[in-house]
Amino acid sequence: MATIVTRSGKGSPLNHAEGDANFTNLNNDKLENINNENLGDLANVSSTAPSDGQVLTYSTSNTRWEPQTASGGGGGGISRAVLQSGALAAQISATTNTWTQQAWAWEKLKDDDSIVTTSSNTFTLGSGTYLLDINLGNLSAFAPSSGTAYWPTYALRNSTDSSYPWGWGDYSHSLSVTQSNFYAVGPTVTFKAYFQIFSSKTFDIVYKQNTSSAGFYVQHKGNNPDWDNNTATRSPGWIVIEKLA
């Protein structure tokens, strides 16, 4: 701030030298442009150099503006990722009353905000609130002999904590097979799961089937070409992941 000598401050009239000094001080401190100024020069802005893509965010505790990484996702703060199965899920041919991992070989089709990592049949999410839309395609089955057959049930498993946020199916749901070499078209396996986690967790898709079931060989249908390279087929497994917070 320029130093100005005033008459009231001096208590007597200013002389010529004092008047000229006032104008000189004003001229030296005037702001003609801001081309050579930096935001960090302001008293309430942090001098920390920002990284590419960061934004200024006000810190109440430090009473200043600071560079911070913006929360991603757009669209109201929701980040989205899409997983597709990279392999044909194996046929379910043996009944089991324990949750069994199913091979889906998850691959990322979209994950602009890097909210998920995949590793073979599992995927890992960081802390946050999530909504998952899971579609495993349509079931079909073959029963070589008559009897009571049971469709498998499915679940999203938090394998880190051995918990199950959500699932699909009814362990006791059956159909009566009255003839040998019977083919059945089943339901579509689709369900959603909403949950909150406070640290990184790994998930997979698991199934179990009533052990009272007669011989019943279940497959997932809906295979589609691998449009990326046209060298393989894909099973119909899809997971849309939304990170809400």
Q: Output the tens digit of pLDDT for each of the chain's 245 residues.
A: 678 888 888 888 888 888 888 888 888 777 666 677 777 778 888 888 888 878 888 888 888 888 887 765 444 589 999 999 877 666 777 778 889 998 888 999 999 999 999 999 999 999 999 999 999 888 888 888 888 888 889 999 999 999 998 999 887 777 787 778 888 888 889 999 999 999 999 999 999 988 887 777 787 765 444 444 444 445 568 899 999 98
pLDDT value for 19: 83
Entry pTM: 0.63
Contact 5, 12 (CB under 8 A): no
Residue extents of the structural domains in the chain: 1-30, 40-70, 79-243
Q: What is the C-alpha separation between 88 and 235, in angstroms, rounded?
A: 4
pLDDT of residue 73: 45
Q: Provide the pLDDT for residue 221.
A: 67
Q: Centre a 10 Å sphere on the Cβ of residue 235 and count the other Cβ atoms it contains.
A: 24
Within 10 angstroms of residue 154's Cβ, the number of other Cβ atoms is 22
Which CATH entry fits the domain spanning 79-243: 2.60.120.40, 3.10.110.10, 3.30.70.1730, 2.50.20.10?
2.60.120.40
Helix, strand, or coil (residue 239): strand
Q: What are phi and psi of 25, to 5 degrees?
A: -65, -40
* φ, ψ (nearest 5 deg) of residue 168: -145, 145
Find all residues with CB under 8 Å of 176, minimum gap 6, and list them.
148, 149
Distance CA 238, CA 114 (A): 18
HSE (side-chain half, CA atoms, 13 Å) at 142: 9
CB 64 within 8 A of CB 57: no
Which is nearest to 118 in space by CA: 231, 1, 203, 21? Answer: 203
Q: Please give the biggest Cα pair distance in the chain.
A: 119
